[in-house]
Amino acid sequence: MIEFSNVTKKYDEIEALRNFSLKISDGELLILLGPSGCGKSTALKLINALVKPTEGEVYIDGESVASKSPEELRRGIGYAIQNMGLFPHYSVENNISIVPKLLKWSKIDIEKRVDELMDLVGLQRNFKNKLPGELSGGEGQRVGVARALAADPKILLMDEPFGSLDPLNRIRLQNEFLKIQRHLKKTVIFVTHDVEEAVRLADRIVIMRLGELIVSGTPEQLMTNKSSEERNYISEFLGSEYSLKLLSRLNVEKYIRTLGVEKFDPETAVKLDSNLTQALSMMVSKGVDRINVCENDSEDIVGEIRIWDIISAYKGDKI
Amino acid sequence: MKKWILPASLIFLFFISVFFFQTIADVFLQFLPHKTIFIERTSLPELALQHIMLVVVSSLISIIIALGIAILTRIRETEKFQEFILSMATFGQTIPTVAVLALLVPFLGYGMKPILFALFLYGVLPILRNTIEGFRSIPPEVSEAARAMGMTPWQVIWNVEIPLALPAIVAGIRTSVILNISVATIGATVGVTGFGTLIVNGIRADDVLTLLKGAIPVCLLALAVDSIFAKLKILCYNLRHIE
């Protein structure tokens, strides 16, 4: 568990972080969300001691971060950042194996680990000897994620790791990362200013402003948050179509009706692993209120979904 | 290998000019109005060796001290000191060598000491400036990522920052060495032998041949060393990390 206890960070007279307290449980994917300059990157860097608190302390599993040697601490925490973080003079292989080398793993272990990681993040083996300058944006970010995961750290810090990618690649990498995360169950702290990215990935979202924690909760809780004094700021920041974005977290599979299924135009059918946003989008584009759902890998119809099921999707959930 | 033709031929010409200057001069002298040639106590190859040794020693001192200071300021993150060095480096280049030497002689006397010190002063500034600028040109995210991986400050410098700043560092060493090759000729005025001895004697005796005997090899030496560094610079850019 990671715990921020009343942390304040001042740069000269400017407070980047003010009286910040937060607990992050093991295996949680926490998103720090906020406009630029809200202190989210500062909060992230406090965890691996790249930034030292002016007041307060950060604890990992009950031990104060300040009490450990920063190098030892950082070797146990994965760190992935936007584009430029790869070492331009290191090959992909050497970039990935930095931390294992610092930890003095054997050569065979490192080689095995690099192969494993490249498979995990979907990089072909023949990329090993390329330099970062020869990679596309998406490939570079995959290397960045592989490098962060290299020594199998319990904690993963990610500072807008997909920020520089085009929308298509970004969504692809987000989905792949989610798959990896479901499998590895790391404690992930992920910084972004992109609401859609936050909704797609988060177990829990923390919204920040001017160095302060405004609200913390699951994406669903944020939608219905009525008690907070900062309601206006929250709804303004999340945007008026936030509830539509939330639909992307729900899978069609959970909402299909299998009884009395009629057959509609096969072109309107959505696949079983689509999310509700995609289903709704299909209905809007075809001007219908019911569509078929088919198997992922064939056109066999397994049920149907109605617009009312989508609209009331969150009504039934106890938030 | 084709790339090395220019440096190789310049080095070859340098050796020809050092070892066969007299032979070639004799051929031309037949067609020119004759003039007494200054008799040297030291042969041209010996003078060349002394000149080169002077440059090598002073350059090594400059390189070691410049890199040392640059690395220390990098680790200590002393922005103001870096600014000071950068302005000093620009300012230092504007002082004439002869003036520096004249100022040093009363303190250090004649001989090796003042010229080594002057060469060091001139040599250290370009390396220092380029190394600091080279470090500054590294994207801060790269250095931060290196620290975040758990590298110690020395590992960050050695594994990441020096390799990335290497083209700039080598460019600084290039300027410094070339400068020292020419400045070393002034050594003759404080009694240190080298190509400068021939140039100074040539001027004093109004003997063009002796003057050329010093001037031509020193020019060829500077050109040859410069072309070697030009190739080194390309090598640095292509540098891959080898472990």
Q: What is the predicted pLDDT for the residue at A268?
A: 81
Shortest alpha-carbon distance between residue B138 and chain A (Å): 10
Both tokens of residue B111?
């001989």
The mean of the pLDDT values for chain A is 86
| B147:A50 CB<8 A | yes
Instruction: Single out the residue of A74, A38, A43 nearest to residue A58, CA to CA.
Output: A43
Shortest alpha-carbon distance between residue B141 and chain A (Å): 5
From start to end of B109-158, where are the E strands?
none
Interface check B146 vs A, CB under 8 A? yes
Q: What is the predicted pLDDT for the residue at A158?
A: 92
Residues B187, B115: contact at Cβ < 8 Å? yes
Residues of chain B with Cβ-Cβ distance to A91 below 8 Å are 240-241
Out of A75, A84, A157, the one facing B139 most closely (by C-beta) is: A84
Residue B172 contacts by C-beta under 8 Å, 6 or more apart in sequence? B66, B126, B127, B128, B129, B130, B131, B134
CA distance B169 to A124: 36
Measured in whole angstroms, the distance separating CA B102 from the mean position of its chain's CA atoms is 21
List average pLDDT for each run of 10 residues in chain B, which is 243 residues long. 81 86 76 60 83 93 92 80 79 77 80 85 88 90 90 90 90 92 86 84 83 89 92 73 43
Residues of chain B with Cβ-Cβ distance to A131 below 8 Å are 240
Phi, psi dihedrals of residue A284, rounded to the nearest 5°:
-65, -45
- Beta strands A14-24 and A2-11, pairing class: antiparallel
CA distance B66 to B169: 10
Q: What is the predicted pLDDT for the residue at B243?
A: 39
Give me the interface pTM, i.e. the ipTM: 0.80
Residue B37 contacts by C-beta under 8 Å, 6 or more apart in sequence? B207, B209, B210
Q: What is the predicted pLDDT for the residue at A316?
A: 58
Residues of chain A with Cβ-Cβ distance to B141 below 8 Å are 81-85
Interface check B141 vs A, CB under 8 A? yes
Q: What is the predicted pLDDT for the residue at A189?
A: 94
Residues of chain B with Cβ-Cβ distance to A77 below 8 Å are 148
Q: What is the predicted pLDDT for the residue at B81?
A: 78
Residues of chain A with Cβ-Cβ distance to B148 below 8 Å are 48, 50, 74, 77, 79, 157
Cα dihedral B153/B162/B129/B142 (nearest 10):
-70
Residues of chain A with Cβ-Cβ distance to B158 below 8 Å are none
| B149:A102 CB<8 A | yes
From start to end of A210-251, where are the E strands?
212-217
Chain B's closest residue to A157, CA to CA, is B148
Q: What is the predicted pLDDT for the residue at A312?
A: 83
Instruction: Single out the residue of B150, B144, B142 nearest to residue A153, CA to CA.
Output: B150
Out of A88, A91, A98, the one facing B149 most closely (by C-beta) is: A98
| A71:B163 CB<8 A | no
Show the low-confidence residues of chain A (pLDDT under 70): 83-84, 226-228, 316-319
A201: exposed, middle or buried (C-beta count within 10 Å: 0-12, 13-18, 19+)? buried
Q: What is the predicted pLDDT for the residue at B241?
A: 47
Q: What is the predicted pLDDT for the residue at B238?
A: 67
Residues of chain B with Cβ-Cβ distance to A85 below 8 Å are 141-142, 144-145
Whole-prediction pTM: 0.80
| A94:B149 CB<8 A | no
Residues of A at the B interface, defined by Cβ within 8 angstroms: 48, 50, 70-77, 79, 81-91, 94, 98-99, 102, 131, 147, 157
Q: What is the predicted pLDDT for the residue at B26?
A: 76
Out of A70, A73, A90, the one facing B241 most closely (by C-beta) is: A90
Q: What is the predicted pLDDT for the residue at B209?
A: 81
CA distance A192 to A206: 11
From start to end of A178-277, where are the E strands?
187-192, 204-209, 212-217, 270-271
Q: What is the predicted pLDDT for the residue at B218?
A: 92
Chain B's closest residue to A148, CA to CA, is B149
Residues of chain B with Cβ-Cβ distance to A83 below 8 Å are 141
Instruction: Single out the residue of B71, B154, B160, B236 nearest to residue A87, CA to CA.
Output: B160
Q: Residue B227 has what DSSP assignment?
A: H
A236: exposed, middle or buried (C-beta count within 10 Å: 0-12, 13-18, 19+)? exposed
b/e per residue A143-166 (b: at least 16 CB within 10 A): bbbbbbbbbebbbbbbbbbbbebe
